[in-house]
Structure 1
Amino acid sequence: MNMVRNRVCGAVALVLIGAAAARPAMALASTEADWRKTAPADGWASAEGGTSGGAAATAERVFRVKDIAGLRQALAGKDGAARIVVVEGTIDGTGGIPFASAEDQATRVQIRVPSNTTLVGLDKASGLVNANLVLKGVQNVIVRNLSIETPWDAYPVWDPKDGPTGHWNSEYDGVTIDDSRHVWVDHVLITDGRHTDDQNGTANGQEVQHHDGALDIKKASDYITVSWSVFRLHDKNNLIGHSDKESADAGHLRTTFHHNLFENVTQRAPRVRYGQVHLYNNVHIGSKTHAVYRYQYSHGLGVESSLISEANLFEIDGTKSVCDVVKSFGGTRYEDRGSLINGLPMDTQAACKDYGAGLQPAGWKPPYPYAPDKTEGLMAAVKAGAGPQ
């Protein structure tokens, strides 16, 4: 595969990778300064030394990619040297060749991102389809300015022992963060896109499941910030901590979500086990009567979880109180400051049958500097500023 060095944007040198590498470089919508940004101080990704991704990459380690072969080549290698990978246009994980079997999909759908990497979209038209970004056992990764369509699992598995009557299960998230630390996800869009759940069909008396998570954080991952991103048209959105039995997650899974838009997301925004999770200035829009993505809840409290919610907006048709947007799965440590549910203050002391003895203080404070915006004007600001730019 050819590699051609080109001088663009002043000082930055790009290594063009892929079938179209010899094509003259076009003007870039984003700049080298954008690609070299590090995680700001307003979330968990800034803790314990911070998250810089590929900010220190040399000119020879800045790659521009246009297809799946080029993307895999740019991400190959485990030498630990910083790299920046710039995605131009929409990259199809199939490379134009449909998945032929479950084994073929498992081999080709996952895209591994190594440590000390920044993966960034060139502009708002840049992104991935038929691909699952996987951060597994890595550190110091930044993913920014990408549109990601959640993979459609063409070969879901029927488990007759799942639940009282059996259940379909699928694999592959939009982004999977597994046993990884210091990650910043920023200005990303994750959505079911062309393959919404009304296309699922039924078998064995159950709706067939073709999607897993949008962005899941598991296996003792830690120091993560998800900011200014859009989650749209998805069911099981953000799972933090994959199992009640995974006690090794205790003391980890520290995550911040701020200034994100959750639009017509059914549940898990997020659903948390074990982690200390800070949620501020997020906007949730949905309806309990949506034709496809009927709203169930936003914040899920699992075993040993502890959540702090601040100045979030919930504009959800059919909801009235904290009982509608916060659901307990065995956890009760949750506190809120200044959030609104359809324009009314969230009352965490409301009587909810789901909480037993009631919600308890979170028991911790965010260790980083941040200043939540007021809820007035937040809806417009997040709608305009979240997602790829």
Structure 2
Amino acid sequence: MKHLSNSLILCVAAAAAGCASDAPHDVSSIPLMRQVAPPDGWAAQAGGTRGGADAPVANVFTVSDAAQMRQALGKSVQGSRIVQVAGVIDMSEGRPYADHADQSRRGRVAVPGNTTLVGLGPRSGFVNAHLTVSRVSQVIIRNLHLRNPCDVAPRWDPKDGDGNWNAEFDAIAIVASTHVWVDRNSFTDVPVTDDTLPVVDGKTQQCHDDALDIRDASDYVTVSYNHFALHAKNTLIGASDKAEGDAGHLRITVSNNLFEFISSRAPRVRFGQVHLFNNYHVGDRKHPAYRHDYSIGVARQARIVSQANVFEVANARDCADAVKPFAQGPDAGRFSDTGSLLNGAPLAGCGVDAAPGFEVPYPFSPLPAASVAAHVRRHAGAGAGK
């Protein structure tokens, strides 16, 4: 195993400041690895999200392969830590996964609490990996290129509609965890896009699950300035209608993200109190591989506040093509919007409009919708302008 190198640190952790502006979160005097979740999101509530920002020099590691990654994230490290990814780490280490169990074990990157995991430079990240944040608190994941994992053994489910292939493994799964900030990462299926997958039993043998899932009563999460591209089912917030323990949790902000040719779940919400602002959705209802179905799914008891989001979806007819309800009656979700645009027109007539039942508790200043596309294009994704 290669020696883990400790990085020299000249600055101490300090609170990141600033809401949405042309220069978001202007913390240029603070190293990327030492920044904390900004105030304009749920992750800043209830004490804030620092990840490993206060890690001592001895707990700052730079890693460039799977073995180093496992050691840096291992139990032998005590206290807060910062793990910097140098280059692209292949968690399979060049040995194809033998089966589902092998992929589950070797491909997993288990991020412990009080950790910042950050890419060095504009091109660092993971392939053949699934990152898990499970039953911990205080995690920051930033500036990584993530190839959405492809399950080597997808399963046929005859009860999924008229039968479908389903896969496991998300690029990032946040499970029963609190105070998490996912910022400026890039997610994509490339090069294993859905049009390269075989058709079996009349259906594409789907090997991808979601890019980012947040479930099992996770709380105080901000998802900001990420670039999600070329993927079918992107983000579940609340994984099941039966997960009634999620009620009162799943307080999540999704802001300033680019969703580019995402078919659905951007995001799909159950139970949560979710704030969406200044996100930019680009899609096509006739795309050859990632046909746009809907962007925001309003499922069981969802509470969604939407502000100044932009939807540019070719061949979209009306709001129902952007915002889709999944529950009726007492289980119906609630969705309210101000200032969003669908193909240049106000987002209206969605059929699910209702008072969301919560007020956003933090200060924020959304850009007007007319400024969102340029702003998000400039700042979203790994290696983008800060």
Q: TM-score, normalised by structure 1?
A: 0.90
CA contact (8 A) 1:9 1:32 kept: no
- Sequence identity percentage: 47
2:121 corresponds to: 123
CA distance in 1, matches of 2:189, 2:76: 31
Tell me, yes or no, if structure 1 residue 211 matches structure 2 residue 208: yes
How far off its partner does 1:4 sit?
6.0
**Residue 89 of structure 1: SS of its match in structure 2?**
strand
CA contact (8 A) 1:173 1:212 kept: yes
CA distance in 1, matches of 2:76, 2:193: 36
The partner residue of 2:369 within 365, 372, 375 is 375
Name the aligned partner's letter for residue 292 of structure 1: A
**Residue 96 of structure 2: SS of its match in structure 1?**
coil
Q: Which of 90-99 and 202-211 deviates more?
A: 202-211
Following TM superposition, where does structure 1 have runs of at least 4 consecutive aligned residues deviating by more than 3 angstroms? 4-12
Q: Which of 312-321 and 40-49 deviates more?
A: 312-321
CA distance in 2, matches of 1:310, 1:183: 22
Residues 297-341 of structure 1: CA deviation (Å, up to 9, x unaligned): 111001110101100111111113222100000134110010011
2:177 corresponds to: 180
CA distance in 2, matches of 1:361, 1:6: 50
2:150 corresponds to: 152
CA distance in 1, matches of 2:278, 2:72: 35
**Residue 367 of structure 2: SS of its match in structure 1?**
coil
CA distance in 2, matches of 1:133, 1:31: 29
Residues 172-221 of structure 1: CA deviation (Å, up to 9, x unaligned): 01100000000000000111121100112111222211000000001000
How far off its partner does 1:384 sit?
1.0
CA contact (8 A) 2:221 2:253 kept: yes
1:360 corresponds to: 354
2:62 corresponds to: 64
CA distance in 2, matches of 1:195, 1:148: 13
**Coordinate RMSD, CA, aligned:** 1.8
Residues 106-130 of structure 1: CA deviation (Å, up to 9, x unaligned): 2111110000000000011101010
CA contact (8 A) 2:136 2:176 kept: yes
CA distance in 1, matches of 2:2, 2:30: 23
Structure 2 gaps of 5+ residues are 13-27
How do 1:233-244 residues align onto structure 2 when only pairs under 5 Å count? 233-244=230-241
Q: TM-score, normalised by structure 2?
A: 0.91
Residues 269-318 of structure 1: CA deviation (Å, up to 9, x unaligned): 00000001000000000110111000011110011101011001111111
1:23 corresponds to: none
**Residue 373 of structure 2: SS of its match in structure 1?**
helix
The partner residue of 1:55 within 53, 56, 60 is 53
Larger Rg: 1
CA contact (8 A) 2:9 2:57 kept: no
Structure 1 gaps of 5+ residues are 13-29
Aligned length, in residue pairs: 364
The alpha-carbon distance between structure 1 residues 75 and 320, as it changes in their structure 2 partners (threshold 3 A), is: same
**Residue 125 of structure 1: SS of its match in structure 2?**
strand
Residues 67-102 of structure 1: CA deviation (Å, up to 9, x unaligned): 011111100117661000000000001011111122
**Residue 68 of structure 2: SS of its match in structure 1?**
helix
CA contact (8 A) 1:333 1:361 kept: yes
1:3 corresponds to: 3
CA contact (8 A) 1:320 1:341 kept: no
